[in-house]
Amino acid sequence: MVDALSVVTQLRDLASEPQNRETIVQDQGCLPGLVLFLDHKDPQVLFATLQTLRYLAELPQNVNTMKNELGMMVSLEALMEKSGLGVDITELAREVHRVLNTEAFRTPEQQKKRSKPQFFINSTNKKAKTVTLHVQGMDGTDQRGVCEEALLKVKGVISFTFQLALKRCTVRVRADVPTESLASAIAATKVLVAQQVVKNETGEEVLIPLSTAEVPIEENSHLPDYLPEDESPEKEMDRAISRTGAKQESSGSWLNTAASFLTKTFYW
């Protein structure tokens, strides 16, 4: 059954791939639907919607369209001021609002100076770290979903992206979260095993086994803690949540499904 959470989650995954961002924003149903989702009562829908908008705003030519979409800025400001929401939602709403306001005033030359994508980045924040994991057994989207559920249980996880073709998962966590706790959570699935990807002194990537024995895992009671990301010291990897197989066909099909769902739900 298609519902709001499944639609916005799929849109988020599609938006994480740069080649889809212009299409999503230009679609007549998706952007207005995302604006309406900003008033949704489910915090998971709110968080996924804000993640989607943040991805879409990475494409400079999307910014003015997004900023001028009816209700966009007003809804973001309402979330920024609303009490009772988790800090992750409030801060992410503030981040999207800031990007839409500042990106619109960048010159083309300034845009070129942005050498790499910045997702939830705040250079003043030094409380987070990036960990790259090789996840044995993650052979498709079903196993990716199992890995997602495992990581979401770990308190301190901020965000994560996948490269299914390489069986890689790049995780942003609080600096005080042991890498072993991520491996323990993944090992608890009984079908996946994680090793850390690091570079040796010659610059080659090597896999480091992680202990999963008697490593305490502090679990989330709700959504993951949010922290703005600082610049990763690691070489920037493909940040998209990979969708292997018939990529273009599946993306187009899901975009049509999302647009249809939004149109039927909100009658525009």
The answer to whether 104 touches 72, Cβ cutoff 8 Å, is no
Domain spans of the chain?
4-119+247-266, 128-209
Residue 268: predicted pLDDT: 36
Residue 162: predicted pLDDT: 83
* Mean pLDDT of the region 132-157: 89
Rounded-to-10 torsion of CA 140, 44, 16, 178:
-70
Task: Tell me the C-alpha distance between 166 and 263, whole Å.
Answer: 36
* Mean pLDDT of the region 222-236: 40
Using only C-alpha atoms, what is the Rg of the chain? 18
The answer to whether 143 touches 127, Cβ cutoff 8 Å, is no
Using alpha carbons, select from 187, 183, 173 the residue that is nearest to residue 226: 173
pLDDT in tens, 116-125: 444 443 333 4
pLDDT category of residue 248 using cuts at 50, 70 and 90? very low
Starting at the edge strand found earlier in the chain, the sheet holding 128-136 runs 157-163, 168-174, 128-136, 193-199, 205-209
pLDDT in tens, 196-213: 988 877 878 888 888 776
Residue 222: predicted pLDDT: 47
Residue 134: predicted pLDDT: 93
Specify the residue for token string 């890995």.
Answer: 147
The answer to whether 244 touches 12, Cβ cutoff 8 Å, is no
CATH of domain 4-119+247-266: 1.25.40
Residue 6: predicted pLDDT: 83
Rounded-to-10 torsion of CA 45, 46, 50, 52:
10
pLDDT category of residue 254 using cuts at 50, 70 and 90? low
Cβ partners under 8 Å of residue 22, min gap 6: 59, 61, 62
pLDDT in tens, 149-173: 899 888 888 878 888 888 999 888 8
pLDDT category of residue 188 using cuts at 50, 70 and 90? very high
205: DSSP letter: E
Burial class (CB in 10 A: 0-12, 13-18, 19+), 252: middle
Task: List the structure tokens of 250.
Answer: 């599946």
CA angle (243, 248, 254) in 5-degree steps: 75
Tell whether the torsion through CA atoms of 1, 151, 194 and 204 is positive or negative: positive
Residue 68: predicted pLDDT: 92
User: Do 4-119+247-266 and 128-209 fold alike per CATH?
Assistant: no
* Mean pLDDT of the region 80-108: 81
Specify the residue for token string 């999207």.
Answer: 96
Phi, psi dihedrals of residue 148, rounded to the nearest 5°: -60, -50
Domain 128-209, second-level architecture: 2-Layer Sandwich (3.30)
Residue 118: predicted pLDDT: 42
The answer to whether 211 touches 178, Cβ cutoff 8 Å, is no
